Amino acid sequence: MTRLHPLAVAVCVALSGATAFAAPVDVADVFPANTLAYVELHNPAELGPQVAAVLKGTPLQDSVPFIHGKKDEAKTLPELRAKEDLAALALFASPEVVAEFRKLGGVAVGLLGFTERGEPEFALAVLTGDSAAAGLAARAFVTATPNVRTVGEVSKVPVFQRRQPVVTYDMNGTPKLSGEKPKEEPRDLTYAYTPGLFVVGTSKAALAPVIKRFRAEEKDALGATAGFKEAAAEYRKPGLFFYAAAPGFFAAASVADRARGADTGADLLAWLKLTTNPKALKSIAGNARVRDGGLSLVAGGRFDPAEKSPLVDFFSGPGVKVEALHHARKPAAFAATMTLPEKDRAAALIGFLDALAKGAGQLGRLPGDIAKDIGVKHKVAVNDLLAKVNAVTVVVPAKPDLPKGATPVPMFVIHTADASAAAALEDLVPKLIAEIAGEPAPAQPSTETVGGVQVRSLAGTGLPWRAAVHYARKDAVLAWGLDRKLVAAALTPDAAGSVVGEKGGTVPPGAALAGAFDLGALVGALGEKPANGPIRPAPPAPAPGTVTELIPPDVLLKDADKARAALTAAFGQLPPAAVTVRRDRDRLLFEVFQPKITDGGLKPVVDAWLDLFDKELSLRDPSRSAPGFLPPPER
């Protein structure tokens, strides 16, 4: 009798598995209606070609020659072994995987709630759809992975967790496995597979609502809620879609913070609550998708018009004029102009700044308190002066000239109603700086002419950023910053030399904020720079008979340094990304658009990233199975 190969049997089962119920075809329908936050890869069938367009022209479009070229370049055995991980990474972006991805029914992750101890409960659901390969891979994972064991079931669907075997030894030293059945851990990564659905969660409790809705045992689904339907109609397009019902999310997160004993005064949640007003914000939704050859990220907040929100009030100004951005010269990591609301301008500005300060955990005086103190001490009507500020351009210079030890801060270009308003604000600067520095009286500024512009300067003694402040005025424009030359240059608009350029400078109608940022400059600024040089693998745990670890040769460390710098430079080759914020009735819309990422536009970045990944894999100690990173010893 002919024996069937186990893999053939598994394939037959995967291809012929059928359910006795009508399984959902929309992945949102397997999540409960009270899901706090939801992220989905929507419409894999249409998203697949978009992924292929992004990878076009890169080594990942066809990784076979790329990987073998890297193997041929290897000079040591560890370098050659490192190519195995590089090849595994490339396989995930291969045309075959993209083709199978297109057959999936849906992929989504949801925040279902928090435990009594304030720990988040997540579930990731994959509807395998028409992809037999996905179902086979899930089945193989839960059956063929040695340490994946059954710990229980939900609606007759077995659930699994990873367990190391318990080994005992008899009198002769022969190892034996304990016959004890693995027990469920209440907080452990948990898996389940039933034909059509693979789900991963933070616990069995997190998997249960997803499995029950897939099996039609529970009906209330996120996809059927009014808020989700409204958001889906606007943003649920091929790409990454996200949604959160704000009131439920804020309430649950606050309870979880208290359960953990967390300080809610200085985190993102607190900042969001204070700037938006949880009573005003009804939902947050948006998407990230490929359009017009670029990558678009849109996030929208829907607000209750009956409730006040500092964020909505602040972004209620008229549309930005592109000419204001001509004051922001290249190179700049970020530059944006925002118009201030025409109604109650001073109150909206101070209220927003106070909310920002509170959200950042600032103790003591708020910006509003400082404004009041200046008004009382110096007999200045601060609110009247702020009411004459039409717009503000914020610039983060890419390479400011700062004294040693100074902390970079943005440069501000203030656009006022007229020259007299700008002059009054100029007179206010010494008083403001004295108040921030804690000085009893304003200092007398020094004056220097830079490029035909008279620039005033105030010493940085006592200031948080530890650098002098420079400011200058021309007509109705006042510039303020830490680099004297940049302040002088900012007073004169220069379309060709600005961050938006002479030809590409357009602003969407009605945008209360418009600007651009250089991804390369931001990546360079955000990159970690260990004090003692480049990163390297962390030492392994001591093994019997092992007294030392292998430290990568200097040549490999230098190669990784060069690759890291090349990646930053590659990001710099991308055209500037555009950012806008606009208000549309009860919605506040935020968008970032990075042009030219398809049809080879992203090739320099992908090439440099793969090279860095390859170089860092080569740094690993070949005696270790997993990499870790920390600064090397001083050399």
User: Which of 30-39, 294-303, 346-355 has the weakest average pLDDT?
Assistant: 346-355
pLDDT digits (tens, 9 = 90+) for 340-369: 988 888 888 888 787 777 755 555 678 888
Count of all residues that appear for the chain in the document: 635
Q: Is the pLDDT of residue 84 over 90?
A: no
What lies within 8 Å, CB to CB, of 519 at 6+ separation is 571, 572, 574, 577, 594
Q: Return the pLDDT at 1.
A: 40
Q: Return the pLDDT at 428.
A: 92
pLDDT digits (tens, 9 = 90+) for 590-625: 999 999 999 889 999 999 999 888 888 877 655 554
Three-point CA angle 587, 505, 321, nearest 5°: 55
How far apart are alpha carbons 481 and 411 in whole angstroms?
A: 4
Q: Is the pLDDT of residue 548 over 70?
A: no
Q: Is the pLDDT of residue 540 over 50?
A: no
Give yes or no for a contact between 285 and 243, defined as CB atoms under 8 angstroms apart: yes
How far apart are alpha carbons 176 and 178 in whole angstroms?
A: 6
What lies within 8 Å, CB to CB, of 480 at 6+ separation is 411, 412, 413, 414, 429, 469, 470, 471, 487
Q: Is the pLDDT of residue 556 over 80?
A: no
Q: Return the pLDDT at 339.
A: 93
pLDDT digits (tens, 9 = 90+) for 427-443: 999 999 998 888 888 99
Q: What SS3 string covers 152-193?
A: EEECCEEEEEECCCCEEECCCCCEEECCCCCCCCCCCCEEEE
Give the pLDDT band of residue 528 (cuts 50, 70, 90): very low
Residue 9: count other Cβ atoms within 10 Å of its Cβ.
10
Residue 533 CA, distance from chain mean position = 26
Residue 512 CA, distance from chain mean position = 23
Q: Return the pLDDT at 345.
A: 87
Give the mean model confidence (pLDDT) for residues 299-306.
Answer: 94
Q: Return the pLDDT at 275.
A: 82
- Over its C-alpha atoms, the chain yields an Rg (Å, rounded) of 29
Q: pTM of the predicted model, to two decimals? A: 0.84
Query: Average model confidence (pLDDT) for the chain?
Result: 85
Give yes or no for a contact between 473 and 423, defined as CB atoms under 8 angstroms apart: yes
Q: Is the pLDDT of residue 20 over 70?
A: no
Give the mean model confidence (pLDDT) for residues 488-515.
Answer: 84
User: Which of 21-25, 99-103, 515-519, 548-552 has the weakest average pLDDT?
Assistant: 548-552
468-472 contacts: CB < 8 A, separation 24 or more?
468/403, 469/429, 469/433, 471/426, 471/429
Q: Return the pLDDT at 359.
A: 58
Give the mean model confidence (pLDDT) for residues 160-186.
Answer: 85
Q: Return the pLDDT at 505.
A: 58
Give the pLDDT band of residue 535 (cuts 50, 70, 90): very low
Among residues 139, 106, 102, the alpha carbon closest in space to that of 214 is found at 106
Q: Is the pLDDT of residue 543 over 60?
A: no
DSSP 3-state assignment of 194? strand
pLDDT digits (tens, 9 = 90+) for 257-290: 888 876 544 466 777 777 888 889 999 999 999 9
* Alpha-carbon distances, residue 135 vs 12, 49, 100, 125, 155 (angstroms): 11, 22, 11, 13, 19
Q: What SS3 string covers 426-482?
A: HHHHHHHHHHHHCCCCCCCCEEEEECCEEEEEECCCCCCCCCCEEEEEECCEEEEEC
DSSP code at position 248 = H
| Lookup: tokens for 445 | 């500024």
Q: Is the pLDDT of residue 628 over 70?
A: no
Q: Is the pLDDT of residue 2 over 60?
A: no
Give yes or no for a contact between 346 and 387, defined as CB atoms under 8 angstroms apart: yes
* Alpha-carbon distances, residue 485 vs 3, 279, 323 (angstroms): 82, 45, 21
Q: Is the pLDDT of residue 526 over 90?
A: no
Q: Is the pLDDT of residue 630 over 60?
A: no
* Alpha-carbon distances, residue 600 vs 58, 60, 87, 596, 610 (angstroms): 6, 11, 21, 8, 15
